[in-house]
Amino acid sequence: MSAIDKSYDNAQTWFDAAMERATLLDEAGVLQRQAIADAHNACNNISDPAMLADQQLYVQGRMELEEYERYLLFKYGKA
């Protein structure tokens, strides 16, 4: 079962499990994603600590984009 197929009880459990994984990126990839995230955050005045922490799941390569999108929908989506 891949991480994306695993069911989590809550967003914090999913976040914690992902942050324990090895990164999928090399240092250059992380730095590139961080630069893009920083520019996006500056242009959109994003400073919420929870949102910035969530971004790190993708920036650090702990989740691929598809899983990251599903995580955000799970955490912030309305059922």
Band of residue 5 on the pLDDT scale cut at 50, 70, 90? low
What are the residue ranges spanned by the domains of the chain?
A: 27-79
This prediction's pTM = 0.85
In terms of C-beta density within 10 A (0-12 exposed, 13-18 middle, 19 or more buried), how is residue 6 classed? exposed
Band of residue 70 on the pLDDT scale cut at 50, 70, 90? very high
DSSP symbol at 75: H
pLDDT one-digit tens code per residue, 14-58: 999 999 999 999 999 999 999 999 999 999 999 999 999 999 999
Band of residue 79 on the pLDDT scale cut at 50, 70, 90? low
